[in-house]
Structure 1
Amino acid sequence: MVESTFIFIIEILGTLAFGVSGVRLAAKKHFDWFGAYTIGVITAIGGGTLRDILLDIPVFWMQTWLYLAVTGVSFLIVAAFTRILTSDSKSLFMFDAVGLTLFVITGIEKTLAEGYPMWVAMIMGMITGSFGGILRDVLINEEPLFFRKDIYATACLAGGGVYWIFAEAGSPVWVQEALCVITILVLRWGALRYGWHLPEMKEGSVKELRKRR
């Protein structure tokens, strides 16, 4: 009971953070109020919806109206501080990173609760954390962060890997969660601050590798 309540709280906080990131980008694109709220909802529930469908469990936001209401709060936050939030690029990183870390954790723990192995939980954590952002970026006609060279989905997998390592070591769950969060935040911050990224796929890259051999 305590564990399910904890996951519910994390989902609410993640919904708030991702809702703000979605509404903020929609506001920057000059969407109307309904459009901005819709983008916020899709950002907040997209990943969890796909996760629950794949796990064949009740879709989380269909069980209570609170998730839609929390996204409404996200909309009000952006509406009240539109100028500040849309002019500062760091605000997108902050809300997106918080939503990402919280949803990765819920994805992992819900998957494990259904009896799946940890490697499946890592993938579900990545899906939960990133799929809503993919839908958001597609709908507002932006190149999805998921497919850019900077570390995004990789951060989710790295966080899940850290969670797995410390789970195997028998660490308390809160330690696994905390280290997962820290790993994702550090990688995302490094990508933003220092330009950490994976190698790009370029035309002729395979030929270059062959030449080096």
Structure 2
Amino acid sequence: MIPYIAWFDYAGVALFAATGALTASRKQLDIMGFFFLAILTGVGGGTVRDLILDVPVFWVQQQAYLVVCMATAVGVYFTAHLVESRYHVLLWLDAVALSVYAVVGAHKGLQLTGSPFVAIMTGAMTGTLGGILRDVLAGEPNAVTHKEIYITATVLGAASYVVMRMAGFPVFADAAIGGLVAFTARAGAIRFGWAMPPYRSRPGRPADMP
């Protein structure tokens, strides 16, 4: 893996793990609950990505990722009470994490398949599935079902990375721009309520029509 992307990968895992641990603090779980949600959130999206790409799951080969998740969980366990609004912090950490992981997932998908479409999909999955699993298991509102931009942010970030990568720009610039695009879209959703036009239901066709 390219060194810059490897650092992005560890950063994404740590940030997502922090959001899982913050969720555990809001639910007043014990330390094992912190570990579980931190690990699930930190490696969940990347695990599904690797299974779909039919490659060894990244944290099975490099168990340092689990250490990062557990260390993050311990850190949050002892400091979460210092954060005045944990949900607000969780939202912004999640925005940064999904931006980082959108790039990491897109990079791995493009590297293994050469397909820009697969890369965008793996970027979106890597950037969102960990957070979705966290919210579902913790009984929190699911970000995907909200009107604000969430998955769209990862798609935009992954697509930006892929386009720049295929155009031959430097790798660091590709990753930085891709992450910035994803973060800007998600930050706009958090701060200003940006959303895609929703589906509007229409009256069904009468049953007696052919």
Q: Do they superpose with TM above 0.5? A: yes
Question: Where does residue 160 of structure 1 map in the other structure?
Answer: 158
Provide the rounded CA distance (Å) in 2 between the counterparts of 1:64 and 1:58: 10
Q: Which range is displaced more, 83-92 or 67-76?
A: 83-92
Does the CA contact (< 8 Å) of 1:27 and 1:86 recur in 2? Answer: no
Does the CA contact (< 8 Å) of 2:107 and 2:162 recur in 1? Answer: no
Q: Percent identity?
A: 34
1:150 offset after TM fit, Å? Answer: 0.7
Gaps of 5+ in 2: 204-210
Does the CA contact (< 8 Å) of 1:25 and 1:86 recur in 2? Answer: no
Question: Where does residue 23 of structure 1 map in the other structure?
Answer: 21
Provide the rounded CA distance (Å) in 2 between the counterparts of 1:190 and 1:31: 31
Question: Where does residue 146 of structure 1 map in the other structure?
Answer: 144
| Correspondences of 1:38-57 after superposition (within 5 Å) | 38-57=36-55
Question: Where does residue 208 of structure 2 map in the other structure?
Answer: none
Does the CA contact (< 8 Å) of 1:51 and 1:128 recur in 2? Answer: yes
Question: Where does residue 170 of structure 1 map in the other structure?
Answer: 168
What is the SS of the residue equivalent to 1:206?
Answer: coil
Provide the rounded CA distance (Å) in 1 between the counterparts of 2:75 and 2:36: 15
What is the SS of the residue equivalent to 2:134?
Answer: helix
- 1:206 corresponds to 2:189: no
Pairing partner for 1:62 from 56, 60, 63 = 60
| Correspondences of 1:9-20 after superposition (within 5 Å) | 9-20=7-18
Provide the rounded CA distance (Å) in 2 between the counterparts of 1:78 and 1:34: 13
What is the SS of the residue equivalent to 1:122?
Answer: helix
1:122-170 C-alpha deviation (Å, 9 max, x unpaired) = 0100000111111101100123212221111000011122223323433
Provide the rounded CA distance (Å) in 2 between the counterparts of 1:86 and 1:107: 32
What is the SS of the residue equivalent to 2:28?
Answer: coil
What is the one-letter code of the residue matched to 2:163? I
Provide the rounded CA distance (Å) in 1 between the counterparts of 2:133 and 2:61: 22
Number of residues of Structure 1 aligned to a counterpart in Structure 2: 204
Q: Which range is displaced more, 113-122 or 80-89?
A: 80-89
- Alignment root-mean-square deviation, CA: 1.9
1:106 offset after TM fit, Å? Answer: 1.2
1:184 offset after TM fit, Å? Answer: 0.9
Question: Where does residue 4 of structure 2 map in the other structure?
Answer: 6
Q: Which range is displaced more, 91-100 or 18-27?
A: 91-100
Provide the rounded CA distance (Å) in 1 between the counterparts of 2:87 and 2:133: 20
Pairing partner for 1:117 from 109, 112, 115 = 115
1:107 offset after TM fit, Å? Answer: 0.7
Gaps of 5+ in 1: 208-213
Provide the rounded CA distance (Å) in 1 between the counterparts of 2:83 and 2:47: 27
Provide the rounded CA distance (Å) in 2 between the counterparts of 1:88 and 1:54: 33
What is the one-letter code of the residue matched to 1:206? R
What is the SS of the residue equivalent to 1:199?
Answer: coil
Provide the rounded CA distance (Å) in 2 between the counterparts of 1:118 and 1:89: 35
1:110 offset after TM fit, Å? Answer: 0.9
Provide the rounded CA distance (Å) in 1 between the counterparts of 2:86 and 2:46: 28
1:86 offset after TM fit, Å? Answer: 6.2
Question: Where does residue 127 of structure 1 map in the other structure?
Answer: 125
What is the SS of the residue equivalent to 1:143?
Answer: coil
1:172 offset after TM fit, Å? Answer: 1.8
Provide the rounded CA distance (Å) in 2 between the counterparts of 1:177 and 1:64: 22
Provide the rounded CA distance (Å) in 2 between the counterparts of 1:86 and 1:49: 32
Does the CA contact (< 8 Å) of 2:26 and 2:86 recur in 1? Answer: no
